[in-house]
Structure 1
Amino acid sequence: MSRMPRAPRTPRTRSSRLARSSRLARAARATAALLMAAALGAAGIVPAQAAETYSLSGTVTLPPLVPPEAMDAIQVQVRSYDPWVDQTVSPDATGAYVVEGLPSAVYTVEFLVGTYVDPATDLKVTPNAVGEYWRGASTYHLATQVPVGQGANPGDVTGIDAELEHGRTIAGTVTLAPGADPALLAQGIEVFAEPVDAGISTTATAAVDPATGAYKLTGLKPGTYILEFDGAGEGADRTNVIREFYADALTREDATPVNVGGSNFIGVNAELAQGRTITGALAVEDGADPAALRGVQVMAFGPTGTTFGVVDPEAGTYSLSGLVPGEYTVEFSDSGYRDPGSGAWVESSLAIEYLENRRTQGTANVIDVSGGSVERDVRLELARTISGTVTLASTLDPREADTLHVHVLDPVSKLSRTGWVRPDGTYAIPGLPPGEYTVRFYGEGYWDDATGREVSRVQSEYWDDAETLASATAVDLTAGDARGIDAELAERPRIEFADVDGSAFTTEIQWLADEGISTGYPVAGGQQEFRPLGRVTRDAMAAFLYRFAGSPHVDLDEGSPFVDVPTSHPFYEEIVWLAQTGVTTGWEVPGGREFRPSRPITRDAMAAFLYRFAGSPWWETPSITKFSDIKPSTPFFHEITWLAEMEISTGWTVGRRTEFRPLENIKRDAMAAFLYRYAGLGLGAPA
């Protein structure tokens, strides 16, 4: 699924909301201070002095044998979160530095190592020194903080010094495989080191000497690294070699890590092969503006993932290079462009397509470059547009209007696109090939500061006033654009469960109903029951998470990923989506994998589901936790401690202990509480 361009929405985590509130509060105080100063000045009254500020200073010492000009690569950064302060200064030639104008706060001081220009070669160089936090700490969490203007340091602070240590070195030689063009070395090869160990952010890049093939990565913290060898340059200027990882791996996942914990690592060599290419002429159909090629992007999907190509709109050509021998599908899409003369944005006008006018990757022709480079000319078709107006029922909060989406789908080719509804209620979904489409209108929910979470009461629907995909009226784009595909969205009916009044999680359960995540069980008298103490099965959990994510489109072409989930299962689509997004992996059994849909879900498995649902965010696993029944050897310890840190789970207090009870089956009311708290973090859902 592709999405129309829009300014990105920043996820609202606890820290970002607090930071936002703090910034707003500071802005309000600053505005009030300016107004007061103006008023006092008009009255002839001299205002009081501004709050006192302080300085923090020290000296940075380079490691032995590192040239003194390397001091140009050093920076000192001081940060505080209450109040928010982030300042960076450069030491002088002697290593002395001063950070001035600091308000009273507690600061973290970091010494950063960048690059400098070597006067002998006039090239950028990374000195062989390792950055650190004050007193030699390697991570932010281990850093010793410095009070300034308070506590032990009521005034200016001096003596915040750092003696940087020598970094580790990885070195070796890059050669070209037999048959490769010798000129490739002269065109430029780069080596990049990426840390594997948590808490290490040090990276390094080195250019390969074109004459000898030698390279040297310096300034690395002791630890484990993944080494990547690739062509230098970008776009059409990129050196056409096949990217690889040490040792002889084509993907990062298959790479052999290099450890420089105890000493340097010399002799890390690589032999790079010349890349295959797919090239050709690129034109537009008669009647289309050739300038539209400025907005065209080309991508190849093959053995090692996605490769981005280059389009030359003036020459009318495209090229994909650095390709591994194998089979590829090639996609052309028009994302629009900015007119070089007026600067105005020009919407896309060409249809997304694959080589030889195929509509989707699944139906695309395969290009095999195993035997050598391939040429294929392409003529892009004019795209169709679906447009209209979306209005809201008068009973809905006006803030819902900023969250409305329109999703179009070709049920045959499975081509789909999603766009935002504009502030005036209009929308347009361009870039569609001729065909028939279903159109769905829905809201994502607005941020409610009063409740601290996303809120939505919009009832989604299909065109024309259809409740389901099966009953939707198709929009025909065979002859041209379709205008007037309008919708008036109603408020979702409110469900009130008859059996939750007085429950400890009444608010959370009602939120679940208001969000359309749970409709409960119908009972006599036209009422609904939630059954808060009922167990949650794995298939029901799939349904809850799927609805929480907004019931996104699911590609069902490849069939069931689990041998025990037939297509007739009531939650088949939801379980397939859960597998496609990586939230569940199931169990490996002879003949395939099992999901075990009717099995109750335990609290530790729920922690794993929510952690993956959040995108498996980086989290430094602690050595201890507040839960007395959880230890590092406990399955899903990483996910459970993350759940606790995010305050999604608080556990049970038993005397002086707190228990998580990982193997206990989760009940429906606790599941409602977990999702309610998760929603309050603004972490979102997997794509």
Structure 2
Amino acid sequence: MAPLFAMRRLWRVPAILAIAAVVLSGGLPASPATAAAGTGSISGTVSAAPGVDVSKAYVVAFPDDGALTTHSVAVRPDGKYTLDNLTPAKYNVRVNGHISGGYDAWYGGVTQATAKPVAVGAGQAISGINVNVSLGATVSGTVTVPEGVSNANVGVEAFPDDPRLGAGTILYRFTDAAGSYTLPGLPPGAYTLCFSPGDDGALKGLCGPANSEDGVRITVGPAEIITGIDYSMRRSSTISGTLNLPAGSTTAGLTVSARDETYFYPRGRSRISPDGSFRITGLSPGQYLVKVTAEVSQSDLVDQWYGAATSPASSVTVIVPPEGTTPGIDFTLVQAPLFSDVSAVSQFTEDITWLAARGVTAGYPDGTFRPLEPIHRDAMAAFLYRAAGMPAFTPPAKSPFRDVYTTAPFYKEITWLSSTKITTGYPDGTFRPLGSVNRDAMAAFLYRMTKTPYCQQFPSEYAAFKDNPANARFHDEVEWMACTGISTGWSDGTYRPFQPVHRDAMAAFLKRWTSKQGYQPLS
């Protein structure tokens, strides 16, 4: 697993870059003119190849360290532009040209990594930052749909093989009423064209994030015009059913999703009616696991997999035919347990309720949760296994730890944790199941549980913990907790790594962990 700080170096190179031909102005001439008090400006001219409408382009200034706000301005019809009110810093200047028929261009380079930074001081007006926009390639065609199905908001998206060529969402167009589309401003290179369905979910798209089918492969040269890239969309497959709710409950906060073998990535689109009936459209034919998820802030119901299952491993598979409907996928939902020792106004009430609704905890037989007790290592293993979706796992006949017997409570969960290398136990061959979990070790567990741990913030954008020195055993993992906001620490700026984690705080950590963008647990 890559260290956190090795990954942090990637933050300075955005994942979305555009390759371009750039005409250098030869330097960074500075004018003595004065901008608004305490700020500066950048100005110049955008020139373009024939066929490019510069009035449809705009200029963006990216702070070199990524910590400040970006600035943008439309290019005037005469090609001139001025970016005002810039905080003193170094900026990389890009012309977004794809709407104009050209493709994106950087000042002084072909990518942001090779662009020439423009240094702006307080009250300084920098002029002569000129950029040339080259004419891009154009791809066009027609998308047809089955009779009786609307093509409203059917889209075509070009994903470049080279991520520096631009974001797929930039190279995107809707079809017109006749189904025709045109993608202008493509840089030379290889692309995958994906066709996305419209609003009603009646159509099945081709490739893209919602399905695994391959798209249409094309390669374009400089300013090349390619026509006739047509596609006939099929009707989507559908899953339908009914949610039977406890008395007094509503469908507010409920979602129904069809998931593939990874369990975690929903497919298709779900719509739930007030009477509890639902339809999941936009599906490819195949096998799915169907799950009802309840948002705790709006619902007191427990998550459930189809077949009255608490995990994907015990869920009943739903088979969906091509362009057909699989009906009768019904659920009978139950309310999350209420714990006698968790008041409605305690600090972590919602987090504890969320933990119960996810099926991660049922509390103790006496109806308590015991929020202020330290969480033991065996219970932590159980929490993490359930939070991972209770993946199919057969515990070994021989225990990997000399103090964990095959008949021990949570034996399956502990050995699963060991099999995934989330824990290796202690050097003496023990797991110490009844030992408390300290906060630094908890950070390490969650970090290892995350398939691709990363953080999208710069160090200047979050508060690091002052008691997490660089030589600490779990420094990177604790730093990741701060960067992602999974932990905010104490008001005095400390994390207190050697303090045991209480059960109520663990509920909060798990809830924040699963709410982060891009969250996908290791399974």
Q: TM-score, normalised by structure 2?
A: 0.63
Q: CA deviation at 1:386?
A: 2.3
1:152-301 pair list within 5 angstroms? 165=37, 167-176=39-48, 181-185=49-53, 188-195=56-63, 200-201=68-69, 203-207=71-75, 210=78, 214-231=80-97, 238-250=99-111, 257-261=117-121, 263-285=124-146, 287-289=147-149, 292-301=150-159
Summarize deviations over 1:105-129 as a string: whole Å, max 9, x none: xxxxxxxxxxxxxxxxxxxxxx975
CA RMSD, aligned part only? 5.3
The alignment of Structure 1 onto Structure 2 pairs a total of residues equal to: 432
What amino acid does structure 1 have at the position aligned with 2:195?
A: F
The equivalent residue for 1:673 is 505
User: Secondary structure of 2:203's match?
Assistant: coil
Distance 1:508 1:485 in 2: 30
Are residues 1:352 and 2:194 paired?
A: no
Shift in Å, 1:402: 1.1
Please say if 1:480 is aligned against 2:346.
Answer: no
Q: 5 Å matches for 1:29-108?
A: none
* 1:194/1:507 CA distance change after superposition, 3 Å: closer
Cα distance in 2 for partners of 1:365, 1:570 equals 41
Whole-Å separation in 1 of the counterparts to 2:460 and 2:159: 34
* 1:293-372 paired onto structure 2 within 5 Å: 293-302=151-160, 303=162, 304-306=166-168, 307-336=170-199, 347-354=200-207, 360-361=211-212, 363-370=214-221, 372=224
Change (3 A) 1:467 1:534: closer
In structure 2, relative to structure 1, the CA distance for the partners of 1:418 and 1:334 (3 Å cut) is: closer
Q: Which has the larger radius of gyration?
A: 1
Q: Is the 8 A contact 1:614 1:684 kept in 2?
A: no
Find the aligned partners of 1:601 and 1:254 in 2 and give their Cα distance: 45
> Which runs of structure 2 are paired with 1:453-602 in the superposition (5 Å)?
456-463=300-307, 468=312, 471-478=315-322, 480-491=324-335, 514-516=356-358, 518-519=360-361, 532=374, 534-535=376-377, 543=385, 546=388, 570=416, 597-598=423-424
Distance 1:270 1:675 in 2: 53
- Letter of the structure 1 residue corresponding to residue 94 of structure 2: E
Instruction: Give yes or no for contact 1:129–1:167 (8 Å, CA) kept in 2.
Output: yes
Q: Which has the higher contact order (CA 8 A, sep 6+)?
A: 2
Deviation at 1:280, TM superposition (A): 0.8
- What is aligned with 2:428? none
Structure 2 equivalent of residue 15 of structure 1: none
Q: Distance in 1 between matches of 2:56 and 2:347?
A: 62
The Cα offsets for residues 125-147 of structure 1, whole Å up to 9 and x where unpaired, read as xx9754xxxxxxxxxxxxxxxxx
Corresponding position of 2:294: 444
**Aligned-partner residue type, residue 288 of structure 2:** T
In 2, Cα distance between equivalents of 1:457 and 1:359: 27
Alignment pair present for 1:382 and 2:245: no
Instruction: State whether structure 2 residue 515 is matched by structure 1 residue 684.
Output: yes
1:514 aligned counterpart, secondary structure: helix
8 Å contact 2:418–2:424 — kept in the other structure?
A: no
Q: 1:616 to 1:393 in 2, by over 3 A?
A: farther
**AA at the equivalent of 1:406:** V
Deviations 1:371-392 (A, max 9, x none): 7443311111122332221112
Relative to 1, partners in 2 of residues 1:373 and 1:479: Cα closer, same or farther, differing over 3 Å?
A: closer
- Residue 495 of structure 1 and its aligned partner are, at CA, apart by 9.6
Question: Do the aligned partners of residues 274 and 476 (structure 1) sit closer, same or farther apart at CA in structure 2, a change above 3 Å counting?
Answer: same
- What does residue 424 of structure 1 align with? 275
Task: Decide whether the 8 Å contact of 1:466 with 1:473 is kept in 2.
Answer: no
The 1:255/1:522 distance shift into structure 2, 3 A limit, reads farther
Q: How does 1:403-414 map to 2 (within 5 A)?
A: 403-409=253-259
Q: Is the contact made by 1:189 and 1:230 (CA closer than 8 Å) also made in structure 2?
A: yes
Report sequence identity in percent. Answer: 21
Contact kept, 8 Å, 2:241 with 2:279, in 1: the verdict is yes
Q: Which one has a larger percent strand, Structure 1 or Structure 2?
A: 1
Residues of 2 paired with 1:505 and 1:273: CA distance?
Answer: 57
* Separation of aligned partners in 2, 1:384 and 1:622: 45
SS of structure 1 residue aligned to 2:109: coil
My pick for the range that moved more, 511-520 or 435-444, is: 511-520
| Shift in Å, 1:659 | 5.1
Tell me the distance in 2 between the aligned counterparts of 1:601 and 1:366. 51
Secondary structure (helix, strand or coil) at the match of 1:429 reads strand
Query: Matches of 2:43 and 2:490 in 1, distance apart?
Result: 49
Instruction: Give, in angstroms, the shift of residue 460 of structure 1.
Output: 0.6
Contact 1:466 1:472 in 2 (8 A): no
Q: Secondary structure at the match of 1:363?
A: coil
Aligned equivalents of 1:674, 1:182: Cα separation in 2: 61
Shift in alpha-carbon separation, 1:216–1:507, aligned structure 2, 3 A: closer
| Residue type of the alignment partner of 1:207 | V
Equivalent position amino acid for 1:298 in 2: V
* Separation in 2, partners of 1:622, 1:470: 41
Q: Confirm or deny: 8 A CA contact 1:128 1:218 kept in the other structure.
A: no
AA aligned opposite 2:304 = S
CA distance in 1, matches of 2:493, 2:134: 58
Could you tell me whether the CA contact under 8 Å between 1:204 and 1:219 is conserved in 2? Answer: no
What's the TM-score once normalised by structure 1's chain length?
0.50
| Structure 2 Cα separation of the partners of residues 668 and 507 of structure 1 | 16
Q: Distance in 1 between matches of 2:183 and 2:459?
A: 37
In structure 2, stretches of 5+ residues that fail to align are 1-32, 392-414, 426-436, 519-523
CA offsets 1:455-497 (integer angstroms, 9 cap, x no match): 6441412258685356524233336223333221234678999
SS in 1 for 2:177: coil
Q: Distance in 2 between matches of 1:300 and 1:673?
A: 44
